[in-house]
Chains A and B, each alone.
Chain A
């Protein structure tokens, strides 16, 4: 009771102190119709639309956001990437109880950062059904780059099926949506290329595992959208030739990674996950689900440029346009060939680990299969020989079929290229390491951490003031974008104090990736794979941060009481 009073008093004091620097915002969570040009469907949106509005905050502002639930089920809003008191984080069952139909919940928190972020429902399947929007936070200080214009680019993967149906279908038949499976004709083609025996041996190897090399996107059949528009609907952003334009890319997709390029333009990456990075000019970059990248482009010609995003498995693409005038549409590039996973992605490749640093290394050649048997790497099925010309990227397994290459130009952004503009924390050795094996059962569509799904797992307990080193070991064949709420994820790229500060860390199959977290936010937080159906089927943990300064603890206890 006392705590509750103190918390209230604290809030009141905060409100008084902030004065003019408080912004009030209203959001409604609404049933909406989504029109992708190829299909229309029911969905969930904010303020009557999907994607929802772009919320523009100022660093240092105390925001008050009234969220009204116009749905007939519980809802919630999570402010993705924002550092805030945990009760404001918007995860039902962890931060709070959620928002009941017809109710209005008021979020209050200070804005302590700047950059590009997003918000979305954290209630089952509302985000895949369309409940997402962008957040742009203007910094207090001048930014370490220069631009005359900006556009927010929200990527989504709208699917004709509603989320709960997709989940049901995947559970019933995990390859329900996979229309890239190898056919008899593919076998004939392989036999011609590599010989009948090798082709057969390859099929038998994959068949033994009951896994598929084409299993890159487990949800296909979606229409990718940029700012809610498909290729035909052509979202267009205006520029004046010679201007520097800041493009704020946000991947709000439920399940889809995209490779993004603007043919004819170099993109200079200046922010990753809202944090400034030392600028990197690239020809193309891959954006994991829930990541954000800000790039600067400088079109000099008076013509339309395509912003082209291909899904990683090349099952779908979307083109938007940057144009000097309204009404222009850039050409649509052809999609490239889909990638095939290799035995390296299954964690089974032999040999070449050269060039790997300690921070991102391939799993050992001996791989424990999900059924407990052990399988030795099968050299004859390692496709790395075929794709040998591909450059090494330490964040993919050696010989991986997923290593991206630029369609035009040469430079494809790697995590290794990301360096923090300014270290956020003093660099120090981690106080302890926590291993998180990313695990799953493809056939049952159960995703888990350390073999245990969320519903059966104990929370991860952290102590305030620790610097924890998380070791992700991806034992599955899928790529998992891991997202820790409430605290920054410092991705270990081997660059010490320059390691980039992120909120999503993508872990490719067959790799081990480390991130470190300064445990500086008391309370209870979510930690999960951001692929919607992986999170909902169990690749999820609650993190409890214990201890902390009395002031912060009081706020925590007060909120728990109230």
Chain B
């Protein structure tokens, strides 16, 4: 599981940005689970959806989910760059991106790998830790992960990659919640 933990990461840094509500959502997804849903219970999973991450797009490019459904996502990074699969609102994604930028600036996030030495150094000097975010998986090329997500009844959600530039280039898909 160590391996899973290392590759499937959400990179969250509180910083001053945490003051905005959207930011707070992104930071502490659990606390606001109602808005975007919450980690799901494996027993309640109704289906498995495979998400393949390419450079820089997803397959499938959009999702249609039943309101309140619990879905098991099997996420594969088939690209040659690091990609993220993150479920959140557009605003939350936007708030998340500056943190990802910082990861790049500190050498933690390289194009095709996560530099754990740099991550440790950053944690030591800045006092901000990296911890798993239940709504996000960050995968190096060739890696896979699973995520079980319980969707709310109403939400305006996107699945997106917040590696700098990727969202802007269109690595984002709509999640349609249907009745």
Contacts and interface: CB of A to CB of B under 8 A. Distances in A.
**Pair from one complex:** yes
Contact of B57 (A144, A421, A422): A144
B164 interface: yes
A147 interface: yes
Contacts of A270: 169
A142 interface: yes
B7 interface: no
Nearest to A421: B55
Interface string A230-244: 000000000000001
17 contacts: A142-B54, A144-B55, A144-B56, A145-B169, A145-B170, A266-B168, A268-B169, A278-B165, A279-B164, A279-B169, A281-B164, A281-B165, A281-B168, A296-B168, A421-B81, A422-B55, A498-B111
Interface of B: 54-57, 61, 80-81, 111, 164-166, 168-171
Given A421-B55, A422-B55, A146 B111 contact: no
Contacts of B168: 266, 268, 279, 281, 296, 298
A145 B165 CA distance: 10
A336 B55 CA distance: 38
B49 to A, nearest CB: 20
B57 A279 contact: no
Nearest to B168: A268
B45 to A, nearest CB: 29
Nearest to A419: B111
B57 A142 contact: yes
A330 interface: no
A32 interface: no
B169 A146 contact: yes
Given A145-B170, A296-B170, A278 B111 contact: yes
Nearest to B79: A144
Given A146-B57, A419-B111, A498-B111, A279 B80 contact: no
B100 to A, nearest CB: 12
A15 interface: no
* In the A-B complex, the 7 residue pairs with the closest CB atoms: A146-B170, A279-B165, A268-B168, A279-B169, A145-B169, A144-B55, A144-B56
Interface in A141-185: 142, 144-147
B54, B81, B168, B169: residue with the most chain A Cβ atoms closer than 10 Å: B169
Contacts of A498: 111
Contacts of B55: 144, 421-422
Nearest to B165: A279
Interface of A: 142, 144-147, 244, 266, 268, 270, 278-281, 296, 298, 419, 421-422, 498
B171 A146 contact: yes
A278 B81 CA distance: 9
B88 to A, nearest CB: 18
A278 B111 CA distance: 8
Contacts of B81: 278, 421
Given A145-B56, A146-B57, A146-B170, 11 more contacts: A145-B169, A145-B171, A146-B171, A270-B169, A279-B166, A281-B164, A296-B169, A296-B170, A419-B111, A421-B81, A498-B111
A17 B82 CA distance: 39
A281 B166 CA distance: 9
A142 B57 CA distance: 9
Contact of B169 (A142, A144, A419, A422): A144
Contacts of B80: 422
A187 B152 CA distance: 70
A308 to B, nearest CB: 20
A486 B44 CA distance: 59
Contacts of A421: 55, 81
A244 B57 CA distance: 14
B101 to A, nearest CB: 9
Given A421-B55, A422-B55, A147 B165 contact: no
Nearest to A145: B169
Contacts of A296: 168-170
Nearest to B173: A146
Given A145-B170, A422-B80, A279 B56 contact: yes
A266 B164 CA distance: 13
